Structure 1
Amino acid sequence: MSESELERRRRRTVSWVVALSAITLAFDGYDLVIYGAVLPILLADSSQLGPLDPAHAGTLGSYALVGVLVGALVAGSLGDWIGRRKIMLINLAWFSLCMGATAMTTSVSAFAVGRFATGIGVGALVATVGPLVAEFAPAGRGNRYNAIVYSGVPVGGVLASLVTIFLEDAVGWRGLFWIGVLPIVLVVPVAVAKLPESVKWLQARGRDGRARAVAHRIGLPLVSEEAVPAGGNSVGFAALASRSFAWPTLVLGTMSFAGLLLTYGLNTWLPKIMSDNGYGKSYSLTFLLVLNLGAVVGGLFASGWADRVGAKSVVVVTFLVAALSLALFPLKLPFVALLGIIALAGIGTIGTQVLIYGMVSNYYPTRARAAGVAWCAGFGRLGGIAGPVIGGFLVGAGAGGTTAFYVFAVVAVLAALATSLVPPPPERAGPLVGAAAPVPA
């Protein structure tokens, strides 16, 4: 086979992996934002699910995140052992079915169960696509490719905002959840046909014959990992507990905790806080739209910067951008200036979390990559649980949005400090720039 044909196959394969992974995570973003979008309806109309107050609504929003924690940790346990592809296909279908089940609930308790079950699928997907993309990304582009994929989350948020603005009156909140069933119809069949298993993972598991066959079919070269891996030959979570990875794993998890606290806190409560400050429903949904658009555009720009100078320094900067923008929220700014501040907040919160996933995906070796991303996604979702609960507590206590924004700004500053403590990867010298270069067989 000619070099040009191999190159065409390689590009086609990487394009399918990136596209399918981004589409998958768009439904994570859709699920995240749609709860915040329908929350005012559930709070105002007890005939939908039953009586619901702000504090209980914040807790209810956290049930999905508990599910994400469970799903991420399970996927991390299995992903480094059974592969990325199987986990992704199973959980795409699971997510779809659970979104449909949630749309049919008629009580707060049943809705909570539906949110928890949906979260399991979301967590498994978030923990799987990062390792998959990192193992297909061209050399020196690991952060950019991960940013493209994880930007699917804010893109899904943008779509959720638009769908809510234009379709909510026609389909109701239940119809908005039924849209989440689309992956099992539109995405799963294509993924079955087009999504390959990671060649790096097959090699890491000693399945060299299968790795060669897949590599030849999709036009990717075989790769070589480091000859003397740090942390011994341990796989998955056992590798994370090794002396080489224990400290960076703790710090990376802390960064993800803060990033998701900010992401979920803002997406859940921004519409309600802005509504309390005198902005109508359409304005509140516009704010969610601007928040997520800022994350998409800013995250992609920052990821290219991260590939050049290292992800660590860029994440420090974007966390500080979050702190500054959140501290400015309570000021009585002109509307256009407020939109600009919200866009910056999107870069500093959701965009930063996108960068963190890319940084983590490229930090660990193949044998521990799924576990490393799962740890950060899972432990991070504890922050995602805390964000809505903190917002609900402050709103319910009458403290208003000002206090919530200042609390979130302090979290962002502390997260920037934590990021500065991340050491270089034990198995690679130099800054966290991207994926290791492939070595032709």
Structure 2
Amino acid sequence: MNAPDSTANTSWASDRHRRSVLWIVALSTAAIVFDGYDLVVYGTVLPTLLADSAQLGALDPETAGALGSYALVGALTAGAFGDRIGRRRTMLTCIVWFSVGMGATALAQNITMFGLLRFLTGIGVGGLVATVGAMIAEFAPPGRRNLFNAIVYSGIPAGGVLASLAAITLQDSIGWRGLFWIGALPLFVLLPLALLRMPESPRWLLAHGRVADAQQICDRTGIPMPEVEPAIAGDRVGFAALARKPLLRPTALLGLMSFSGLLLTYGLNTWLPQIMSEAGYNAKGSLSFLLVLNGGAIIGGLIASRVADRTGPQRVIAVTFCLAALSLVLLTLNFPLGVLLVAVAGAGIGAIGTQVLIYGFVSNYYPTTARAAGVAWCAGFGRLGGILGPLLGGILLGAGIASSTAFYIFAVVALLGALVTTAVPAVRALRRSDLAAGQPVKVAE
């Protein structure tokens, strides 16, 4: 029998425990890399689709923005299933779903079919975002949760880097369809490993009364047996728990944080190559800005996560939102290329890197019975911002409005995100509120 863990424990219980968790982190990161690849690959092929009507048909900027938004669905539904059918089953299903969707998109012959397949692929991609956050929150030692969340969700900008490099080096030879075929690789290289090395969450099993199953997994993996968490909102699970006090208000605020972060993330990843192309940079040069945007997000996000493990993520997120606003304003000024690249990297940290931190913050904010739903809510509601970002860029560029206006609007969104972040109640305040109401609740540290 493994001893119950403690929220104060930041070390490994054994080498087997460490290996098991690192496998989970590695597999989750690999899955999220292809979420990031899916996010950015559309932006890399967009100039080709706009310029050549022989690919899918005539495409204007407004329609292109709408197509960019179609993949941003699915997180809400899949997250709800993650709290009900389990983390492992949801994750395996989503890997198959989005891999098949990416391969099918490579075969699309017209705009309608392309948009429909982007929509369907988004269900699997969105489900992964919610599920891996819950997995890491439930497997990682408390003192490493922000770091491991940052490593996993840095897979999003890492996938963006992969998509940018693939477009720069391979698009001339394999075309835009070949870039989408790359997105189908997880079905063959990731799924077999996940079937072997991805266990069900013992915390999820305990939350559903399956004590013996949880103990069996802990014995096999070396993961310490978690403590049973008191129920929140009675026996309500998933979204039903989010709709009751004390989680109702913070859930709304966390959703607005994610809305802001994903509006910036998807807006910049979709339109930055086209904006820089119109500013006079050649195709490979404009794609290089996308590479810097996502590369800056990876490095900056990992550094910020280490600070968040020491000081708490909330303050760090507010600061990185402000960094995004400053960087976006700098992009509107006539600076030399070197300064522009630094500003793009800062925008990557403040937009994509901030969203990485938000996912970690949210994953550790909720109890087990509502964790995947909480991440799914933030990812799903946030993706409304992700839908608006590409649409907004398309409307502005289609109307002939200067790109600087889009950057100013994005900067205002970043400042609003920082303001909302400061208003989220601390976990301790939630506990005091719940005790006052006579309903003790356990929320993750």
Normalising by the smaller structure, the TM-score range is over 0.9
State the TM-score, normalizing by the size of structure 1.
0.94
Partner Cα distance (2:252, 2:210) in 1: 31
Partner Cα distance (1:324, 1:342) in 2: 11
Q: Secondary structure at the match of 2:183?
A: helix
Residue 21 of structure 1 is matched in structure 2 by 28
The correspondence for 1:52, drawn from 59, 83, 87, is 59
Maintained 8 Å contact 1:76/1:237:
no
Coordinate RMSD, CA, aligned: 1.7
Partner Cα distance (1:168, 1:200) in 2: 44
For residue 232 of structure 1, report the CA deviation from its aligned partner: 3.0
Residue 192 of structure 2 is matched in structure 1 by 189
Q: Which amino acid aligns with 2:190?
A: V
Residue 336 of structure 2 is matched in structure 1 by 334
For residue 400 of structure 1, report the CA deviation from its aligned partner: 2.2
For residue 60 of structure 1, report the CA deviation from its aligned partner: 1.1
When residues 133 and 428 of structure 1 are mapped into structure 2, their CA distance, relative to the original with a 3 A threshold, is farther
Residue 436 of structure 2 is matched in structure 1 by none
Matched, 1:387 2:389: yes
Maintained 8 Å contact 2:83/2:372:
yes
Partner Cα distance (1:183, 1:315) in 2: 31
Matched, 1:277 2:279: yes
Q: How does 1:13-412 map to 2 (within 5 A)?
A: 13-65=20-72, 68=73, 71-227=74-230, 229-412=231-414
For residue 427 of structure 1, report the CA deviation from its aligned partner: 5.9
**Which range is displaced more, 414-423 or 75-84?**
75-84
| Percent pairwise identity | 61
- For residues 109-147 of structure 1, the C-alpha deviation after alignment (integer angstroms, 9 at most, x for no partner) is 000011001111101111100000110111222111100
Partner Cα distance (1:131, 1:5) in 2: 19
For residue 2 of structure 1, report the CA deviation from its aligned partner: 11
**Which range is displaced more, 125-134 or 136-145?**
136-145
Maintained 8 Å contact 2:23/2:198:
yes
For residue 5 of structure 1, report the CA deviation from its aligned partner: 11
Partner Cα distance (1:32, 1:118) in 2: 11
Maintained 8 Å contact 1:262/1:384:
yes
Partner Cα distance (1:290, 1:111) in 2: 28
**Which range is displaced more, 417-426 or 188-197?**
417-426
Unaligned runs of 5+ in 2: 4-10, 433-442
When residues 13 and 411 of structure 1 are mapped into structure 2, their CA distance, relative to the original with a 3 A threshold, is same
For residue 351 of structure 1, report the CA deviation from its aligned partner: 0.1
Maintained 8 Å contact 2:314/2:422:
yes
Maintained 8 Å contact 1:259/1:349:
yes
Residue 414 of structure 1 is matched in structure 2 by 416
Q: Secondary structure at the match of 1:325?
A: helix
Maintained 8 Å contact 1:230/1:427:
no
When residues 235 and 396 of structure 1 are mapped into structure 2, their CA distance, relative to the original with a 3 A threshold, is same
Residue 432 of structure 1 is matched in structure 2 by none
For residue 225 of structure 1, report the CA deviation from its aligned partner: 4.4
Unaligned runs of 5+ in 1: 430-434
- For residues 359-390 of structure 1, the C-alpha deviation after alignment (integer angstroms, 9 at most, x for no partner) is 00000000000000000000000000000000
For these two proteins, the number of residue pairs brought into alignment is 427
For residue 226 of structure 1, report the CA deviation from its aligned partner: 4.4
- For residues 219-272 of structure 1, the C-alpha deviation after alignment (integer angstroms, 9 at most, x for no partner) is 011111444x54333210011001110000000000000100000000000000
Partner Cα distance (1:290, 1:75) in 2: 31
When residues 225 and 303 of structure 1 are mapped into structure 2, their CA distance, relative to the original with a 3 A threshold, is farther
Partner Cα distance (1:233, 1:94) in 2: 31
Residue 8 of structure 2 is matched in structure 1 by none
